[in-house]
Amino acid sequence: MRPSGSNGVGGSGSEDVLPFERNAGLIMATNNATTAFKASTERLYLPKPHFHKFFAKKVKRASPAVHRGYWLRMRAIKWVIQQFLERPSDQKKVIINFGAGYDPLPFRWLSQEAGLCSGAKFVDVDYDLVMETKRDIIMSTPELRDLLHFSGSSCGGSDPALLVDSEEYAAIGCDMRNLQRLERLLKKSVVSLDECSVLCIAEDSISFMPVSSADTLISWCSRLSKDVAFCLLEPCSPDQPDNPFTRRMTDHYTGLGTPLKSIFQYPDDRSQIQRFSNAGFAQIDYQSLWELWADPRFLSPSQRMELDHVEPFDEWEEFALWASHYCLVIAQNGVHPVLPGKLMKSRADSVSSEASDISARTSSPCNPDSEHFAYRYYDDPGELCQRHHGSAYPIPDQDAVAIFGGAGSKSCLSTSAVCRPRHLNEETPIVLPPEVGARCCHVITALNNGDNILVGGRLSPTQPLKDCWLQKGNIWYRIHDLPEGRYRHRIAPVTLPDNVFGAICFGGKVSPTKVATEVLLWEPNKGWRELRIFGKDPKPRFGPNFVCLGFNHGLLFGGMRQDGVICQGFWRWRLVIRDNAVQALRFRPSHGLDTSIGSYQYFARFGASYGFVQDYLLIIGGIARLGCIQKTYEILSLTGTFSTWHDESKEPSFRVGAVEAMCSQDCPRPFLIGHSTLRTRTGMYVILGGGADCFNYGEYFNKGIWVLYEKEAGLAADWVTVPSKASKYPPANSDSSLTAVDRRPEGVLIAPAPLTDPEDFHAAVRVSRPLLMSGLPLGSCRLHSVDFLKTTLLQNTMSEEMSTLLKGSTHVNLSLSQILEALGMSSTTFGIRSLAARPEDSSPTSPQKTHPDIGDQFEIPAQLRSVGPLMHSLQLVISKKISTKLQYSAMASIVFQLHGTRKLLLFPPCDQSKLEFPPGATTSHLDIFCDKTPLQEHIFYAPSGTSPHIVIQKPGDALFIPPFWSVASVIYIDGINDKDRRCNGAFSSSTSSEKLSSASSNGSISGSESVSDFKEKRRSQSDWVDATVNLSFRNLKRHLIAASPRHESSPELAAYEEGRRDLENVVKRFTSNVCQPAPALNGQTALKKSAASSNLMLANIPKDVARAYLQRLGKELLMQADEL
């Protein structure tokens, strides 16, 4: 709904002569953007029928924050109209929408609430040009026109400016400054208007009018009837004009040529209430949209949470800032209120996330001591600091601060920015390695022994990360994963019994629709485990303030509930330690917080940073119950009896004060949203990063470094950003004692299970989950014999030259490994057959006869005979490869391990995009295994955000691998004690920690043999050779699978291959030199190209243009994939 005006053409009388405003055309143009945003929102959030689509030329999907903002706007107006229509009254009800633009609000009401609208009339007022277009669309669209009933033959009224006049709806083209003409037109449409109950609506419209004209309109409306209500929804300024969000919003409209004219004259509740009081309204209700969002009269918690299921959403600061920059004013001169009375909440129960019993005083908000702080700003000449929702951490043994990750201008970042005092000439800071991967909303904090720990984060709201990293010296080690991915959580370092340094993970989100409920404790030797909660349990929340005040106790306040409301209340917490072991975490609500009325509104925060400076706990930035935090209260200090905090028998007392840091005039104001702060070794606070995508007004980033320091101590040197280098990824043979961690595997360990019932196998196939089967009867086939395998190798692969070369030896004296080495092979494959099954008839996916066939040699276990009719191939593979590349197939497979033991890593199909598969390939370029020698422990690299499944497959085991699961394997040698064996950590499962028998058929070494002994014997044993039977079968319909056009590639999904061909055609449209001939006219070319004009013609679409459009198409394809 956009600003309105008309030059008054049509009708008669001197009151019709009024010139356009200079920017009238620009104001009208804003209506198009609003209509498009509302159409996009309607398509996702509102039930059908949809009406905005008829007025939007092109519906472009907006961001989740814009969707939620416009949904809130539309919902607010709907709520007011519903309260107005449901209010009992004998008078006719009239709803006048000033600056209605193309908003189809009346038609939605007439379509969905016809009974409630009986006897009511909707009137839209806007520029005559806008309303003429709206009339044409209405009358040419049956879905709209059929909702109206006309008493005469014409849809219009007696005046040309009365463009539509039906029993239910009227459209008036008029300048809202021309009140005489507007009153005349209204009385023509609505007879006896002064006897009606009138609701006037101005949604985001009169704020573009001159303030005096807008005030005159409001005052005029109050005299239309004895029962008039005015609903105003427009921008406001909850903070000073230099607030970054406020400035971005006002600059946006100024740049469009449509400046907001009333935002600073009526910025808040007091000024708006006075405005409407002066206009003649007796009852006035004011709320920001952020306050309305949390109002139980307006929305219930379940209604707010339902929105999370529409589309993934995590732009809470952006949404809160926007909503607190919009106000809803309901003013009326009648006796009966339009809105229900506000619900008064008790402050007697701190357990409630809405209530609090914090003591609030009417006194100065500032702590006199806090005036001793000052800001200093240092510009960053590059763009390294331009990020938000990263995490700052200290560089070990240096007075330097780094910030890692965060959201950049286009995507999440995997880089670090480092700053330190200019005078320091220390060595180059070491930062996180690239293997950690891009992320935002993660936490990096220093443990009580000085080590840094990184926990979780996300790539997007639907891609939470669970990996964790620990820094020891200059090396970052990957440690235990969280049980599930988590972001917007908090980490508090604690000291555990026996001087063990651990951490507590509190709060956060595990998905867009779920807040983490478990409190986790990390112990170096045990990893993460859930803590029991003693005492009263605070509501689950994300983005809270979870502060450690000592070794194992602290406080909790703020954060956000699942339904998007800031939690109130103040809590104490401490670890419960009994018998030298951590038993639980105890919470107690606290009543000892003293704060001023002003500070009280902003104490409980979401997304704030915090830390200690001497005796102050500083709480910096974020959003609060009122949304945007005023400049005076952006930094609060908490002071009091921290020394008694751990004593549960004593109720400590604390005081909250505002910190107003002094700064020079040229110091820009930091945007304390998504920022990171860290205390330096010299006691100062460095603020890095920060910013947001400010709704549809554009992005804003902090571009430099702010240092908060005590004025008395001063600054010894200026701060600058400095180059850094990435930490080396830990070597495969790194000593686990460096991390003091006996780590577990990074993924799901699949333990072997006996298969007695075929239905268990069928169930695994149906749900596409891997299954490791043990104890299957593989029969007495000759494939179990090493001698038979040697003979098969020699007879089926050896040329005449090789026969001469091996003439002096017999295969009896050679190991399988030596035979393969002599043949110049790392592996070889033979086709085999089974009496129980034959491969399917020739089809596009049938295997080519490229391998020697050695006949009926294998018996499929009875429990798996059901795959027989679907079998695609049956092959014997003999290999001395240490590891295999990561690959997948559209076929399901069962791998029978005959000789040797292998470790396999399996990744589900959802991980494909992170595993570096080249376009059209089924084999990845990613080097999963970090080491290349069988004597190492085969540490592997699982890319961030993936879910590896780990299998140890011994002789006699059979592994079912579902289609599209990516698989890599490595020979597994048990040459090290069980407690030292790991795959990025030791296996915790008892099934995987058993020693392999030294009597294994492939002659692998026993756990008692040393590495040196083993090296001496390796030439006489088949230590690094294994043999498997690979059975592949089809469990998709034939037409869904296609043979890959690439040699030796696995079968692929047909839809993917067809899609790639379609992509090639799409690219050709942008890159090929195709010219359509001009149409002929009377034997002549319609367009004759002269030599001069030919020089102006481009042969092809410019590459940068083609690239830009292909990138747009790629994004649109991703958007459609997200909607599936």
Q: What is the pLDDT of residues 391-437, one digit of tens each?
A: 999 998 888 999 999 999 989 999 999 999 987 777 889 999 988 99
Output the pLDDT for position 760: 86
Give the mean model confidence (pLDDT) for residues 567-571. Answer: 92
Which has the closest alpha carbon to 596: 559, 637, 544?
637
Question: pLDDT confidence of 920, banded at 50, 70, 90?
Answer: confident
Q: To which H or E segment does residue 765 belong?
A: helix 758-767
> Nearest to residue 865, comparing CAs of 897, 835, 899?
835
SS3 per residue for 188-244: HHCCCHHHCEEEEEEECCHHHCCHHHHHHHHHHHCCCCCEEEEEEEEECCCCCCCCH
Q: In the predicted model, what is the mean pLDDT of the chain? A: 81
Q: How far is CA 779 from the centre of its chain?
A: 52
Q: What is the pLDDT of residue 981?
A: 32
- For residue 376, which amino acid is it? R
- For the ranges 240-244, 276-280, 579-583, 671-675, the lowest mean pLDDT is seen at 579-583
Does the pLDDT of residue 849 top 80, yes or no? no
Most confident of 236-250, 722-736, 946-960: 236-250
Asked if 14-332 and 753-1041 have one fold, the answer is no
Tens of pLDDT along 1022-1046?
456 788 888 999 888 888 887 655 5
Residue 836 has pLDDT above 60, yes or no: no
- The better pLDDT of the pair 456, 655 is held by 456
Least confident of 151-160, 387-396, 595-604, 954-963: 151-160
Reported as type and span, the H/E element at residue 75 is helix 64-86
More confident residue, 897 or 914: 897
DSSP state for residue 634 in the 8-state scheme: S
What band does 291 get if pLDDT is binned at 50, 70 and 90? very high
Q: Is 256 helix (H, G, I), strand (E, B) or coil?
A: coil
3-state secondary structure of 1095: coil
As a whole number of angstroms, the distance between CA 306 and CA 302 comes to: 6
Q: Which of 803 and 19 is assigned the larger pLDDT? A: 19
Residue 764 CB contacts under 8 Å (≥ 6 apart), including other chains? 770, 771, 960, 962
What would the mean pLDDT of 89-101 be, rounded to a whole number?
94
Q: 732 pLDDT band (50/70/90 cuts)?
A: very low
pLDDT at 858 over 70: yes
**Token pair for 442:** 């993660």
State which amino acid sits at residue 105.
L
Which is nearest to 236 in space by CA: 298, 319, 329, 317?
329
792 or 322, higher pLDDT: 322
pLDDT above 90 for 772: yes
**468-477 mean pLDDT:** 92
C-alpha dihedral, 887 to 888 to 892 to 895, nearest 10°: 10
pLDDT at 615: 75
Q: What is the mean pLDDT of residues 861-887?
A: 84
Question: Could you tell me which residues come within 8 angstroms of residue 989 by beta carbon, excluding any fewer than 6 positions away?
Answer: 749, 751
Q: Where are the domains of the chain?
A: 14-332, 359-738, 753-1041, 1053-1074+1097-1124
Q: Is the pLDDT of residue 744 over 50?
A: no
Q: CATH code for 753-1041? A: 2.60.120
Mean pLDDT, range 127-144, rounded to an integer: 94
Closest by alpha carbon to 635, among 686, 672, 595? 672
DSSP assignment of 9-54 equals -SS-SGGG--PPPTTHHHHHHHHHHHHHHHHHHHHHHSPSPP-GGG
- Residue 481 is predicted with a pLDDT of 93
> Which of 445 and 372 is assigned the larger pLDDT?
445
Between these two residues, 107 and 27, which has the higher pLDDT value? 107
Q: For residue 396, count other CB atoms closer than 10 A to its CB.
A: 16
pLDDT at residue 334, as a whole number: 85
The fourth-level CATH superfamily of domain 359-738 is: Kelch-type beta propeller (2.120.10.80)
pLDDT at 812: 54
Q: What is the pLDDT of residue 352?
A: 46
H/E stretch holding 834 reads strand 827-834
Return the higher-pLDDT residue of 74 and 371.
74
Q: Take residue 922 and report the two structure tokens written for it.
A: 């089924």
State mean pLDDT over 974-997: 32
- Give dist(CA 74, CA 805) in Å, integer: 85
At 1073, the pLDDT band (50, 70, 90 cuts) reads low
β-pair partners for 529: 521
Q: Which of 341-355, 370-384, 499-513, 647-661 has the lowest mean pLDDT?
A: 341-355
Neighbours of 852 (CB within 10 A): 15
Whether 744 contacts 986, CB under 8 Å? yes
Q: Could you tell me the CA-to-CA distances from 318 to 63, 148, 692, 906 in Å, in that order? A: 11, 40, 6, 39
* Buried/exposed 9-45: b ≥16 CB within 10 Å, e otherwise: ebbeeeebebebbebbeebbebbbebbbbbbbbbbbb
Q: Please give the pLDDT value at position 798.
A: 53
Query: What CA–CA distance (Å, rounded) separates 169 from 124?
Result: 8
CA 850 to chain centre: 47
Give which of 216, 228, 195 is closest to 96, Cα–Cα.
228
One-letter amino acid for residue 575 of the chain: L
What percent of the chain has pLDDT above 90?
A: 49
| Domain spanning 14-332: CATH superfamily | Vaccinia Virus protein VP39 (3.40.50.150)
Greater confidence, 505 or 1104?
505
- Pick the more confident residue, 816 or 279: 279
